[in-house]
Amino acid sequence: MLTSLIHAVLPDLPGYETGGGPVIPQAVILRTGPSGPEVLLVKRTTPRAWELPGGYMNRGEPPVNAMSREVREETGLIVRPDRLVGWYVRTGFRPHRSPVFACSPVSGTVRKSSEAVAIGFFPVDHLPLGLFPWYREIIRDAVAGRSHPDRQEQHLGLGTVVTSAAIHLGALSGVLRP
């Protein structure tokens, strides 16, 4: 009983990797909505929080191909990568490197997948509270048309870990809704 409760509350995180962690390509999928630009976000099954679609690369797969494949698998959309927003290097808790691409939807229908409990477009000036905090800067960069030539470091320190845990627990308890 206690084990199942702990498993339900603690997020299922990938194994820790040294050397900067894995490369996880991601997409900022933008469209024009009724009140301005909107971004597509997915709410993961675990940890239960809103984030950008994306995921792991297959061996030998270029980052842009991995991003396109992951977006299609997670959201049902086929996207056109418009530009590289930047390489975001996340240090501290769960270090990883994410090439993030600004994209436009080309075809397909938005649908949930086994990796997401919810998916939707949000106005960029009204992002959900349950969005991991480091994505807000990236979304602003993408909307502003920025392309960073240098790697952007985002340190995921204790404050970020506490905030992320609160988001996860708030979503599981139903306190945080879209």
In-domain check, residue 42: yes
The pLDDT assigned to 178 comes to: 55
- The one-letter amino acid code at 72 reads R
118: domain range?
Answer: 20-172
In-domain check, residue 118: yes
- CATH number reported for the structural domain that contains residue 29 in this entry: 3.90.79.10
In-domain check, residue 2: no
Q: Shortest CA distance to 57 belongs to which of 92, 20, 26, 16?
A: 26
Q: Which residues of the chain have pLDDT under 50?
A: 2-18
- The one-letter amino acid code at 78 reads I
pLDDT in tens, 87-116: 999 887 677 799 999 999 999 999 988 888
In-domain check, residue 1: no
Number of domains in the chain: 1
Bridge partners (DSSP) of residue 32 are 37
Distance between CA atoms of residues 125 and 119, nearest Å: 18
